[in-house]
Structure formats: C-alpha cells, structure tokens
Amino acid sequence: MRKNKLEISDEMKKARLKLSINHYIKYFLGKRTCELTKEEAFYAIALAVREFAMDELYNSMARYNSRKSTKRIYYLSIEYLIGRSLENNLHNLGLYNVLKDIKLDGFPDFSLEEIFDTEYDPALGNGGLGRLAACYLDSMASLGIPGFGYGINYQFGLFKQKFENGWQVEQADGWSADSSPWELARADRQVSIPLYGHVETYKDASGKDTFVWTNTHTLYGVPYDFPIVGYNGKAVNYLRLFSAKTDDEFDIDIFNNGGYIEAVEDKIKTESISKVLYPSDAIEAGKALRLSQQYFFVSCAIQDILRRFLEKNNDFDKLPQEVCIQLNDTHPALAIVEMMRLLMDVYGQEWNDAWDIVTKVFAYTNHTLLPEALETWPAKYFARMLPRHLQIIYEINRRFMEFARSKFGENKEKLDKVSIVMGEGDAQIIRMANLSIVGSFSVNGVARIHSDLIKTSLVPEFYELWPEKFSNVTNGITPRRWLLHANTYLASIISDKIGKDWITHLELLEKIADFADDAEFVHKFSKIKKINKDILRQEIFKRSNVAINTKSMFVVQAKRIHEYKRQLMAILQVIGDYLAIIRDHARPICPKTYIFAGKAAPSYTFAKLVIKLINNVASVVNNDSRVGDALKVVFIPDYKVSVAEILIPAADISLQISTAGFEASGTGNMKFALNGALTVGTYDGANIEIREAVGEDNFFLFGLRDEEIKKIRPTYTPRKIYEESEYVKRILNAVNSNMFCEKESPTLFKPIFDELLNRDYFFVLADLEAFNEAMKKAEKSYLNQEEWTKKAIYNVAKMGYFSSDRAVLEYAKNIWHVEVVKDKVPVTDFEEEAKSA
Ligand code: NBG
C-alpha cells in the first residue's frame, strides 16, 4: 500500500534527482555525461529540479481545489523580473545540499556556481515594477497564498544594453522564451482573441439592443507556466505568460506568386505582439502595438480566470468571493473592460450585474506620480482595434459621469479631471488611470508619502468621491533572494547568531542590533562586506576592464536612468570632486568608487546623453594620473537581477536621490539597506520610512522636500544658483567645455548645460550643494570603520518591515481578503516512486 509521507528523506530525494538528471542527459540532450557543456549541465539539472517543483505545484493546486471555496489572487503585470531560478528553486525545495552530494559518473569538473552562472536572466521587465511583481509572487508562494502572475512571454523582453564609445546601444535580448527549462507550454489552455472588425447592433426578441463584434481577426494566446517555488516548498504557484500565435501561418497563393515575404507577413505582424517589452512609443505604430499587447494579455488572463471559475460554478454570483485581480499599474487596466465584454456578450449578463461583479473583483496599484507616465490612448486606436471595448468605455464613463455630476454639480473643472474620456473627435483620449480607479474597489500607492500624494495631488477629486477606496501598502522585497541567496555569507553569520527564522519573519533581524557592540560580529560583518566588494571588483574588471580599489567607499546608484532619479546630479557631484583634485589639489575625504548601472528607454534622448556623460567622465577621471585611487567611476552595462545580486551586497553607499515627490517608493533602497549599505537620500518614496526605521543617525538625508519644491517651482530660476554658487558654476562650466568630450563635438553636453540653466525641471541645481555636503558627511563617517559597520548593522537589523511578506500580508488582509492555505496534503509519494524506478 502507498503511504502518504509528509517529508521525504534527503536520501530519497537524492536518488530521484540523480536518476532524473541522468535521464535528461541521456534522453533529452542525447549526450554522454563526460561531454556536457556547462549550459547543458544547467539544462539537465534544471529539468530534473522542475520535476520536484511540478510535484509540489500539483500538491498546491490539489490543496487549493480540495477546499469548498478558495479565493485566488491574480496579479496582472506587463513586466516580471524573476531573475535566475535554479539556485532559488534548489534552496526553496530543499535540494541544494542534496544536489551538492550527487556524484555523476564522468561529470565534468564544473562548480555549481559556474553552472548557475550560465542560466539566462529572463529580461521580462524594466525596473522596480517588474521586480516588485516577482518579489510578491515569491512571497505569496512562501506564505501559502493562492496567488498567480499573468503576463506576456516576450520573445525578446527588454533590450540588452551595450556601450559603444560611451553611448548606450540596444541589442535584442533573445533570452529563449520558448526553450527555458522552467516553462511548460500549455497548448491545452490556449485562448483565442478577437481584434479589429466592427460592432453590429441588433434588437433581440424582447426589443433589447444586443451588440455583436464581428469581422474580427483572431489571434491565439498560448500560455507558458513558470513554477514559482515558495520557500521550503510551502506552496508552488505559477506565473502564466502568454505568447501570441496565429493560424494564418502562411499564404501559399501569395508565396507561389513570388510574395515570399508577404506570405508570412500577417503571421509576423500578429506574433510581434509578444516580441518585445515596451516597443518604442515614439512612433504611432509602436504606440498601437503597446495597446494591442495590453489587450492581448488581459484578454488571455480574463478568459483563463473565468474558465477556471466556471469549472466549479454555474453562475457569477460567487466571482468576487473567489477571484481578486490586482492591476499592477495601468497597463492591465483594459482587463476591467474585457471582463465587462465577456460577462455581457459571451455570458449574457446584464450591464448592472456585470458592473456590480467587476467592481468587486478589481484592485489597482498606482506606481507613479509622473503625469506623463499616466497612460492615455487615443480613442481612434480603440475604434480601429477594439471597437466593442470603446463602446463599453463610453458607457462606463457615461454612467460614472452621471454619478460624478450628482456629487460635483456642474463644477466643470472637477468633472473634466475625473472623466475617463477626454477631448473630442480625433484628439479624444482614454485615461487608463481614471478607468482603473472607476473600475476598482481599491486604489493603493506604494509608500506612505506616495499614497498621500495620490490623495492630495494626483487625483484629489476621486478621493473626494470615494475616500474609502484609497489606501497605502508600502512596497517590500523578498528576503530569500535579496539576502539569503544574494549575500550568503551575511545570511549565514546572521543565522549563526539568531537562527533561521528571519528568512520568513524578517522582523526578527531586529535581534542582530544587539550584536552591533560584539567585536567579533562586527569584525565578521565588515569582513563579509570586503569579500563582497572583492567579488564585485573582479566582476567589474571582467566586464569593463576598470581596476578598482576595494578599500575605497563604493557609492552605488543602480536603477532605470530617468531625469527624476537624478543620475545627473550624482555625476555632477563626481565632477565637483574631480575638479577639486585637479584644480585645488584637494583629495576627497576618503577614496571613492562611483558605480552606476541602469538602462535608458531607447527613445529617451536626454537620459541617453546622461549615460554618455557618465561614461565620458569615467574615462577622463579613471585615466588621469593626478587622481589615482582617490576617485573612480564605473558604469556596469546591462543591469539586471543577476547583476543586482552581485552589486547590492558590495555597496557601502546607496544613492536614492530622486527629486522629492517623484519616486513612488523605490525598492532598490530597501535591498541596499538590507545588505548593509547606508543611504544618501532625499525625503522621498520609501526613503522616508527606511530612515524612520534605521534612525536619523544611520541615514544621510539631504535636499528639498516635496512641499518646498511645489512652493518654489513657479518662480524657480536655476540660472541664479549657477551665478551665485562657485561650486555649481565650475561644475556646469566643465560640462559645457570640452573637458569630457575632447575628441568629440565640443557642444556634445550643451543640451545638459542648457536644460539645467534654463529649466531644471527636477531641481538638480537646487539640491546639488546639499547633496555634496551629505556625501562629505558620509565620507567622514566612513573613515571610522568601526562606527560605520555599526551603522550598517543597524540598517540590516531594522529592515524587517520592508519584507515583501509583510507587504503581501497587508494586501491579503486589507484588500484581497484572502486566507493563507495551510494544510499540506501530498499527492505524490516520492519514496515509492524512487524505489520502483
Ligand atoms: C515604479 C516606481 C518605483 C516603485 C516601483 C514599484 C514604475 C511605473 N514605477 O518607485 O518608479 O518602487 O514602481 O512600486 O515603474
């Protein structure tokens, strides 16, 4: 008789894992073990580990399904930055040590690290938004919450960043979307998606209008599932990503008449929907492609969600009890409209019933206050591609505006601000944030200040209409990837002192504050920082051929390149230090290495010029013999999760210097602090809460606050600062001279000079001196290494609140109203299986 066993012994796991790896080497790769390359070794191991993940996934699904009612959370996001999975999955499934113990006959002499290093880092995201989604999936699985990610299986994801003569160039990042060992194509779950066509109106027998969307093109969404393995295999959920496929593959008539390209053109056009993340929106076609991507993915998701729900239910009454859909920013906002369409046109619901259901299912997280980042789409795109959706949007807006009028009277200004539809005729646009707020029962920001600003500055009129909808959930990061795996040495001395429970209860880190005076712990802690810095040093040498000094203070700014994040201010401060060295013979208080990483959007010319400036300053400073070790500048190309994992544990200073009021939260700020870096930062985003947690003395705050900026803005004249401050003037003059572009056009950086002098929308000049002072303070503090390490330990100790487990539990309790599914019922008996094999 088969026994159900909760725990399988390591010996059994070992036998099974070994068997599977051998199986994949022989029957999948068709190789002899001794001939394996590192990439093939990775592949075989990953496929074998996936079996364990799948078993746990079936277990988790069985557990969710065995209950009378299980509410599922669907997280819809246009980006996911899940990072490499093998090491993570090995740890989380308890297979890491098991694998280490396995000896395969003839297996080449590769270390596990070398094998991990060959894994492709899936570039299915751009920045914080995508990484947050990945951290939340990790936490949901680790907590046992039935939460699933939905998105697009981009063939090329975001671009690969290279530098050519200091300029960013973009290359396609073929991360192998259809050959990752983790993904499982689910052809059986393919969905069809109508597009284009027109709407015809009929009267039904009762005289009621019915709408038929007809003459459409059909494309197909094929799901690919990635197992998301929770810590300790508590639950395995999945991330379901859709690839676009079409069946009008190939037109033989066109081909036979010589149209070799045209014969597959339709196919190429349709499938381009899942080719790249954020196609350039500088041209109309790119913009329209983005909208079709968003529709494609939400249609796939909503059809899949409704199908699953209908497997257990005959009507939609219980949908809000069983389904909650979290919109990660506005990119998936069309899901609201798509669900309305499906409920009415496919399932025959009346408008009122459908709307009642929809508005109990959707919750919206806003991730930006930048007005230009709040998505809008020309109504004419809808008219052409999604005519039925446009009708539904007009009707949602008509009904909503009636309600708004009942509250605001004829206050035109307020009514204009809340309307989903704006403008007339060809210029008419649809505002996705307004649609998201109207269609959701919950709207949250991602840090305290951000959530407050949503209510007071971004959409105060909506707050007036529905104060109860608005809340805050400060972002969080997963301790598994960002400490346990990224910084194994630090993780292990922490566990030695306080045990391992911090991995799932990060607030327990608080206990290590007690060891800030323990000489041995302090010594170990600082030694680990040195080791991590040395690992980064080697990596930088390999990638950029720059030699850096690990005794210098590592000052790191790693994030998307954007004017509001002010990488420009950081490099101006570097120039200030450089000028002090060469003109005043004044060395910095301590030697420093500035390390930048991040990508600029391909069409963002100014951001790309900032990258060029940083690279040019680096080449001048690094090659000036007068500078030596005192100052170095490095820009690491192609920032991604696997780079972050090396970079973050090595940082001494984390630069979080956005213009106050612009950074919604930041999550890099949390990762750096968790790894013992001290922040030099503005009063913005989650910096504010981090500073409160770690204490004012362990955080270098500077700069104007949001309310000050709002006050000054109308009369702000940056030229005055330039004229009055010698410090600012000489830096800007250097930028405008040929100092950093000697062999190139002498006016190369003039656009930067002009922008700063004439406009300076992001208050770089206003904050530059304060920033420099904060840096000097940090440098002074760094001279006393013992004190510094204590501050670093406090930073680590106080980061408990910033765990994504806490954030996800807040969503679960206050927004999703979902329970953690605890009971564990195994369906597979590995022991029996391993024996019989
Ligand atoms: C980003 C914000 C960050 C924030 C992440 C995750 C977008 C649109 N927004 O401040 O800029 O940490 O979202 O919430 O990418």
Q: Which of 831, 746, 826, 834 is nearest to 235 (CA)?
A: 826
Is 630 in contact with 578 (CB distance < 8 Å)?
no
Mean pLDDT on 208-230: 93
Reported as a single tens digit per residue, the pLDDT across 136-187 is 999 999 999 999 999 999 988 889 999 999 999 999 887 766 678 999 999 9
Question: 832 CA to middle of ligand 1, Å?
Answer: 48
| pLDDT score of 831 | 43
Residue nearest to atom 12 of ligand 1 (CA): 666
| pLDDT score of 260 | 55
| pLDDT score of 70 | 87
Question: 474 CA to middle of ligand 1, Å?
Answer: 11
Residue 379 sits at the vertex; the CA angle it makes with 374 and 385, to the nearest 5 degrees, is 110
Phi-psi sector, 760: left (phi>0), alpha (psi -120 to 50), beta? left
| pLDDT score of 258 | 62
Q: Answer yes or no: is the C-beta of 665 below 6 A from any ligand 1 atom.
A: yes
Q: Which of 104, 102, 119, 121 is nearest to 42 (CA)?
A: 119
Active site residues: 367, 559-560, 565, 667, 671
Question: 341 CA to middle of ligand 1, Å?
Answer: 30
Amino acid identity of 726?
A: E
Q: Answer yes or no: is the C-beta of 56 below 6 A from any ligand 1 atom.
A: no
Is 386 in contact with 295 (CB distance < 8 Å)?
yes
CA-CA distance, 597 to 267, in Å (whole number)? 37
Looking at the predicted structure, is the pLDDT value of residue 5 above 80? no
Q: Which of 788, 741, 792, 735 is nearest to 764 (CA)?
A: 735
Q: Please state the atom number of ligand 1 nearest to the C-alpha of residue 663.
A: 10
Sign of CA dihedral 732, 737, 741, 744: positive
State CA 718 to chain mean position distance. Answer: 34
Best substitution site from 327, 432, 446, 472 to test ligand 1's pocket, by max atoms within 8 Å of Cβ? 446
| pLDDT score of 7 | 62
| pLDDT score of 823 | 58
* SS3 sequence of 789-831: HHHHHHHHHCCHHHEHHHHHHHHHHHHHCCCCCCCCCCCCCHH
Q: Answer yes or no: is the C-beta of 664 below 6 A from any ligand 1 atom.
A: yes
Is 617 in contact with 576 (CB distance < 8 Å)?
no
Q: Please state the atom number of ligand 1 nearest to the C-alpha of residue 132.
A: 6
Q: Please state the atom number of ligand 1 nearest to the C-alpha of residue 664.
A: 10
Query: What contacts 485, CB < 8 A, 6 or more positions away?
Result: 87, 88, 91, 491, 645
Q: Please state the atom number of ligand 1 nearest to the C-alpha of residue 365.
A: 14
Looking at the predicted structure, is the pLDDT value of residue 706 above 70? yes
CA-CA distance, 391 to 615, in Å (whole number)? 50
| pLDDT score of 255 | 56
Is 74 strand, coil or helix?
strand
- Report CA-CA distances (Å) from 498 to 280, 492, 504, 525, 695: 49, 10, 13, 14, 22
DSSP string, 316-373: STTHHHHEEEEEESSTTTHHHHHHHHIIIIIT---HHHHHHHHHHHEEEE-----GGG
Reported as a single tens digit per residue, the pLDDT across 639-679 is 999 999 999 999 999 999 999 999 999 999 999 999 999 99
Find the range with the poorest average confidence among 131-135, 443-447, 508-512, 601-605: 601-605
Q: Answer yes or no: is the C-beta of 689 below 6 A from any ligand 1 atom.
A: no
Reported as a single tens digit per residue, the pLDDT across 416-471 is 999 999 999 999 999 999 999 999 999 999 999 999 999 999 999 999 999 999 99
Q: Answer yes or no: is the C-beta of 368 below 6 A from any ligand 1 atom.
A: yes
Q: How confident is the model at residue 1 (pLDDT cuts 50, 70, 90)?
A: very low
CA-CA distance, 788 to 530, in Å (whole number)? 13
Q: How confident is the model at residue 4 (pLDDT cuts 50, 70, 90)?
A: very low
Looking at the predicted structure, is the pLDDT value of residue 268 above 60? no
DSSP string, 218-269: EEEEEEEEEEEE-GGGS-EEEEEEEEEE-S----HHHHHTT-TTHHHHHHHH
Task: Summarize the chain as % helix, strand, coil (round to 5).
Answer: 55, 15, 30
**DSSP H/E element including 654:** strand 653-656
Residue nearest to atom 6 of ligand 1 (CA): 129
Residue 511 tokens, joined = 């206990």
DSSP string, 160-176: EEEEETTEEEEE-----
Looking at the predicted structure, is the pLDDT value of residue 35 above 70? yes
Question: 158 CA to middle of ligand 1, Å?
Answer: 17
Is 458 in contact with 366 (CB distance < 8 Å)?
yes
CA-CA distance, 113 to 779, in Å (whole number)? 35
CA-CA distance, 24 to 95, in Å (whole number)? 17
Question: 533 CA to middle of ligand 1, Å?
Answer: 28
| pLDDT score of 257 | 64
Looking at the predicted structure, is the pLDDT value of residue 833 above 50? no
Reported as a single tens digit per residue, the pLDDT across 631-644 is 999 999 999 999 99
Question: 767 CA to middle of ligand 1, Å?
Answer: 22
Sign of CA dihedral 621, 625, 626, 632: positive
Q: Please state the atom number of ligand 1 nearest to the C-alpha of residue 668.
A: 12
- Report CA-CA distances (Å) from 604 to 281, 697, 822: 10, 37, 47
Mean pLDDT on 297-315: 96
Is 103 strand, coil or helix?
coil
Is 561 in contact with 610 (CB distance < 8 Å)?
yes
Reported as a single tens digit per residue, the pLDDT across 710-746 is 999 999 999 999 999 999 999 999 999 999 999 899 9
Question: 329 CA to middle of ligand 1, Å?
Answer: 9
Mean pLDDT on 584-601: 97
Residue 673 tokens, joined = 């602090």
Q: Please state the atom number of ligand 1 nearest to the C-alpha of residue 450.
A: 10
Q: Answer yes or no: is the C-beta of 127 below 6 A from any ligand 1 atom.
A: yes
Looking at the predicted structure, is the pLDDT value of residue 51 above 60? yes
- Report CA-CA distances (Å) from 518 to 515, 527, 616, 677, 786: 5, 14, 44, 19, 11
Rounded to 10 degrees, the C-alpha dihedral 802/805/811/812 comes to -160
CA-CA distance, 723 to 732, in Å (whole number)? 11
Residue nearest to atom 15 of ligand 1 (CA): 129
Looking at the predicted structure, is the pLDDT value of residue 754 above 60? yes
Looking at the predicted structure, is the pLDDT value of residue 832 above 50? no
Question: 449 CA to middle of ligand 1, Å?
Answer: 13
Reported as a single tens digit per residue, the pLDDT across 520-563 is 999 999 999 999 999 999 999 998 899 999 999 999 999 999 99
CA-CA distance, 817 to 810, in Å (whole number)? 10
Is 486 strand, coil or helix?
coil
Best substitution site from 80, 137, 367, 669 to test ligand 1's pocket, by max atoms within 8 Å of Cβ? 367
Q: Answer yes or no: is the C-beta of 129 below 6 A from any ligand 1 atom.
A: yes
| pLDDT score of 805 | 97
Is 473 in contact with 492 (CB distance < 8 Å)?
no
Q: Which residue has the tokens 């000049």?
A: 765
pLDDT averaged over every residue in the chain: 93
Is 408 in contact with 366 (CB distance < 8 Å)?
no
Share of residues in the chain with pLDDT > 70 (%): 94
Q: Answer yes or no: is the C-beta of 330 below 6 A from any ligand 1 atom.
A: no
Look up residue 159 and give its DSSP letter: P
Q: Answer yes or no: is the C-beta of 446 below 6 A from any ligand 1 atom.
A: yes
Q: How confident is the model at residue 288 (pLDDT cuts 50, 70, 90)?
A: confident
Question: 636 CA to middle of ligand 1, Å?
Answer: 22
Q: Answer yes or no: is the C-beta of 367 below 6 A from any ligand 1 atom.
A: yes
Looking at the predicted structure, is the pLDDT value of residue 263 above 70? no
